[in-house]
């Protein structure tokens, strides 16, 4: 790039409220090919996209150590400048050059000392070299050197807007990496956490001679060792992100730096795909994620997937980015229905994101995803998908400044996310032969993940927005806190929960609860740390149920509701002034309500979230509604419909209402006032008075109204 060349000035824009970022990924070596670039850039610019993303592959640009080849990026930056497109620059360090493996011994080592052969994974990693061991100081230093040279070359380009430090930081598979450097890092992490080897042995009841003898576990049979190993893996990933972020800032301290996760914590397998959103986001200016949602949703949980994932991202970063949004399936010829695509786009924006990037502009030409993804066709021609996305671009361009100045208001209902309980239950569900975890595949079909999805939906279907919290968060705005399958509770978390209820909070607990301590051992009395006093009961018996439980395993509530138990049946015993509100068929206690301080606690031995049947008529909606009303949290909308979802982004003077009909029937809605503007109506129309609308099956309505 000729930095002396006279250029068009693009207004500098950090992450501000001046516009709503709404862009598209474009280049990941080697595609699209150079002959396509100019026409594509012109079309992207004319469509109104605010930014474009490049993914320079380390392997592509530094095939020979110290010899950098930038011709393709130089031309791409020139075109971005010409067509006034802001650039997000995301180095792809996972694609390491051959010399990393040959000269720096960068090959990852799996369990039992077996090397993990580098390979080309998919279109994002087509050039190969996936993935070296970044725990090796020589490898991460070489990666940082590449990043510094990349930043130095383009930091003064008028088109460069910001950096993305890492694409989907994650440790996968479960057996990576067991090389000497990774093992040393693991030992150091343990030593910082536990102290001397004698202190570690005393706390975990182990018998290591020294840290030098401590090796990574190959089995999930010893819960505590695999439990610690995968927590370290998430820590190591975050340290790598921090290392690259510092390398970027050492050369360019002015432009923002973000990082982009793959599947987020509430949706990701924490053992086979270890990563920690909160750790990853700690050192960067903005956090983003890949939004993975069903292309043809049909069940309530599938409809709720956008909101479920996004509500967690709001906890990680209130102005988070939806950094990969898929307009089309990766499968050849499988197209998302336009009305569904429109709904997903507006659901993503309604959920509160502060920026948005489509993946990707042109359809993939090579690899296992051939003819997949892509807004435009292989030849750059427009498609039904691109027309839907570009129509959204036009609306966002017109309303972007207003949209960027709105936020999702805080919810009165929150779910507690516990990474330790999540990991524990994944390990308990892990299927291995003789404990050998060598070939375990990622999986999120286990109690914790199933329960939190259903619990989230239960409140969503009752017209409630839901926020996520983690132990220790400020709960002053939370009226009801829901805990499901929180097996591991520390002494500090126990005191935090007691204080919340004591000062007037409502706590809903679905068993199992506080069954284990921080080292994964079962508590002699459950719940532990004196939480039985908070609950007004304790666990008398926990019985594992077969997968196909018959109807006899039913908890009958005093109000007439019935919950069919799945996975476990927990029988409770009263303590203090606890009040029985449900019984099992054998007469044992299934649920208890207890007053504690100024607040209320509902303890459910019948985990309604785990027993969710996947339909709209499930008891989870009725039980959530009853608890809300019993606790004095009456609905703000008395006409709420569990299949007509209303979400709001609120600004200083206006509110943007997003209304989604996820039923198979037409729905009527009366807004509090006539809209200022109707942004988009998909299968929806104004009827009667100016504030009345009919929203047909699958319809979406986005309107702007004055704030009361």
Locus of tokens 């993305």: 164
CA 700, 703, 707, 708 torsion-angle sign: negative
Task: State the Cα–Cα distance between residues 626 and 604, nearest whole angstrom.
Answer: 13
- SS3 call for 58: helix
Which pLDDT value is given to residue 6?
A: 35
**Class of the 644-706 domain?**
mainly beta
Residues 418-422: contacts with CB within 8 Å, 24+ apart?
A: 418/470, 418/471, 418/486, 418/488, 418/489, 419/265, 419/270, 419/276, 419/470, 420/227, 420/231, 420/488, 420/518, 421/448, 421/485, 421/486, 421/487, 421/488, 422/265, 422/270, 422/448, 422/449
CA dihedral 122, 127, 132, 138 (to 10 degrees): -150
Say what percent of the chain tops pLDDT 90: 88
Which pLDDT value is given to residue 124?
A: 83
Q: pLDDT (tens digit, 9 = 90+) per residue, 684-703?
A: 999 977 899 999 999 999 99
Which pLDDT value is given to residue 4?
A: 35
Is 11 a residue whose pLDDT tops 60? no
Is 330 a residue whose pLDDT tops 70? yes
The answer to whether 670 and 359 have CB atoms below 8 angstroms apart is no
Superfamily holding 22-175+234-404: Glycosidases (3.20.20.80)
pTM: 0.95
Q: pLDDT (tens digit, 9 = 90+) per residue, 162-181?
A: 999 999 999 999 998 999 99
Locus of tokens 């206006």: 654
Which pLDDT value is given to residue 332?
A: 87
Is 705 a residue whose pLDDT tops 90? yes
Task: State the Cα–Cα distance between residues 493 and 178, nearest whole angstrom.
Answer: 33
Is 9 a residue whose pLDDT tops 50? no
The answer to whether 375 and 358 have CB atoms below 8 angstroms apart is yes
Q: pLDDT (tens digit, 9 = 90+) per residue, 436-452?
A: 888 899 999 999 999 99
Is 551 a residue whose pLDDT tops 90? no
Is 14 a residue whose pLDDT tops 90? no
DSSP at 417 = -
Average the pLDDT over 648-675 and give the result. Answer: 95
Average the pLDDT over 491-498 and give the result. Answer: 98
Q: What is the CATH number of domain 413-630?
A: 3.40.50.880
Position with higher pLDDT, 15 vs 116: 116
The answer to whether 412 and 464 have CB atoms below 8 angstroms apart is yes
Two structure tokens written together for 210: 């020294």
Which pLDDT value is given to residue 333?
A: 81
3-state SS track over 365-410: CCHHHCCCCCCECCCCCCCHHHHHHHHHHHHHHHHHHHHHCCECCC
Burial class (CB in 10 A: 0-12, 13-18, 19+), 207: exposed
Two structure tokens written together for 235: 């820590």
Is 433 a residue whose pLDDT tops 70? yes
Is 127 a residue whose pLDDT tops 90? no
Which pLDDT value is given to residue 638?
A: 55
Which pLDDT value is given to residue 5?
A: 35
Is 287 a residue whose pLDDT tops 50? yes
Counting Cα atoms < 13 Å in the Cβ hemisphere of 45 gives 16
Q: Give exposure, 561-581, as e/b (b: 16+ Cβ within 10 Å).
A: bebbbbbbbbbbebeeebebb
Is 104 a residue whose pLDDT tops 80? yes
**Domain extents for the chain?**
22-175+234-404, 413-630, 644-706
Q: pLDDT (tens digit, 9 = 90+) per residue, 467-476?
A: 999 999 999 9
Supply the mean pLDDT for the chain: 94
Is 122 a residue whose pLDDT tops 90? no
- SS3 call for 493: helix
Which pLDDT value is given to residue 435?
A: 78
Stretch among 55-64, 200-209, 317-326, 687-696 having the lowest mean pLDDT: 687-696
Q: What pLDDT band is residue 10 in, cutting at 50, 70 and 90? A: very low
Say what percent of the chain tops pLDDT 70: 97
Residues 16-19: contacts with CB within 8 Å, 24+ apart?
A: 16/404, 17/401, 17/404, 17/405, 18/401, 18/404, 19/50, 19/400, 19/401, 19/404
């Amino acid at each position: 790039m000729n930095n002396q060349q006279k250029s068009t000035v693009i207004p500098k824009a950090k992450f501000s409220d001046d516009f709503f970022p709404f862009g598209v990924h474009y280049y990941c070596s080697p595609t699209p090919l150079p002959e396509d670039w100019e026409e594509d850039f012109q079309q992207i610019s004319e469509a109104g996209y605010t930014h474009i993303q490049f993914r320079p592959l380390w392997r592509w640009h530094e095939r020979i150590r110290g010899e950098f080849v930038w011709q393709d990026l130089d031309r791409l930056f020139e075109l971005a400048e010409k067509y006034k497109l802001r650039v997000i620059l995301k180095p792809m360090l996972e694609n390491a050059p051959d010399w990393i493996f040959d000269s720096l011994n960068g090959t990852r080592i799996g369990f039992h000392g077996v090397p993990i052969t580098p390979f080309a994974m998919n279109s994002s990693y087509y050039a190969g070299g996936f993935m070296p061991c970044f725990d090796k100081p020589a490898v991460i230093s070489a990666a940082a050197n590449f990043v510094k040279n990349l930043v130095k070359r383009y930091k003064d380009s008028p088109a460069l807007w910001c950096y993305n430090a890492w694409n989907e930081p994650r440790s996968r598979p479960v057996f990576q990496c067991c090389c000497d450097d990774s093992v040393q890092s693991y030992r150091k992490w343990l030593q910082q956490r536990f102290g001397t080897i004698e202190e570690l042995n005393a706390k975990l009841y182990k018998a290591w001679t020294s840290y030098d003898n401590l090796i990574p576990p190959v089995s999930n049979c010893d819960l505590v060792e695999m439990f610690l190993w995968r927590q370290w893996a998430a820590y190591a990933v975050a340290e790598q992100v921090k290392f690259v972020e510092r390398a970027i800032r050492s050369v360019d301290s002015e432009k923002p730096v973000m990082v982009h996760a793959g599947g987020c914590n509430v949706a990701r397998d924490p053992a086979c795909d270890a990563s920690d959103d909160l750790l990853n986001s700690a050192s960067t200016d903005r956090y983003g994620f890949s939004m993975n949602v069903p292309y043809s949703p049909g069940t309530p949980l599938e409809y709720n997937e956008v909101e479920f994932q996004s509500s967690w991202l709001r906890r990680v970063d209130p102005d988070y980015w939806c950094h990969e949004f898929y307009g089309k399936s990766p499968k050849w010829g499988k197209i998302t229905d336009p009305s569904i695509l429109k709904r997903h786009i507006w659901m993503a924006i309604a959920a509160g994101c502060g920026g948005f990037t489509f993946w990707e502009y042109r359809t993939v030409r090579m690899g296992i995803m051939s003819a997949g993804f892509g807004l435009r066709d292989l030849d750059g021609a427009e498609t039904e998908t691109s027309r839907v996305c570009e129509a959204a671009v036009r609306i966002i361009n017109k309303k972007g400044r207003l949209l960027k100045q709105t936020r999702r208001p805080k919810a009165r209902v929150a779910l507690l996310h516990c990474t330790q309980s999540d990991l524990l239950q994944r390990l308990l569900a892990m299927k291995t032969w003789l404990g050998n975890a060598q070939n375990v595949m990622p999986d999120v079909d286990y109690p914790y993940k199933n329960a939190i999805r259903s619990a989230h939906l239960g409140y969503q279907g009752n017209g409630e927005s839901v926020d996520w919290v983690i132990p220790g968060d400020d709960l002053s705005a939370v009226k009801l806190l829901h805990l499901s399958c929180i097996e591991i509770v520390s002494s500090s978390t126990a005191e935090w929960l007691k204080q919340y209820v004591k000062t007037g909070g409502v706590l809903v607990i679905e068993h199992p609860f506080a069954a284990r301590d921080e080292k994964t051992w079962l508590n002699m009395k459950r719940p532990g740390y004196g939480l039985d006093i908070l609950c007004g009961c304790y666990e008398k018996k926990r019985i594992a149920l077969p997968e196909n439980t018959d109807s006899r395993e039913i908890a009958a509530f005093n109000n007439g509701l019935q919950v069919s138990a799945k996975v476990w049946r927990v029988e409770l015993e009263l303590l203090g002034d606890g009040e029985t509100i449900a019984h099992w068929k054998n007469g044992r206690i299934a649920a208890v309500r207890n007053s504690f301080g100024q607040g209320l606690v509902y303890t459910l031995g019948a985990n309604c979230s785990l027993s969710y049947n996947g339909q709209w008529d499930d008891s989870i909606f009725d039980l959530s509604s009853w608890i809300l009303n019993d606790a004095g949290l009456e609905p703000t909308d008395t006409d709420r419909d569990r299949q007509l979802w209303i979400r709001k982004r609120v600004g200083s003077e206006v509110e943007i209402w997003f209304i989604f009909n996820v039923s198979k029937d037409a729905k009527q809605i009366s807004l509090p006032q006539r809209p200022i503007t109707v942004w988009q109506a998909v299968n929806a129309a104004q009827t009667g008075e100016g504030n009345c609308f009919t929203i047909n099956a699958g319809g979406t309505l986005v309107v702007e109204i004055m704030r009361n």
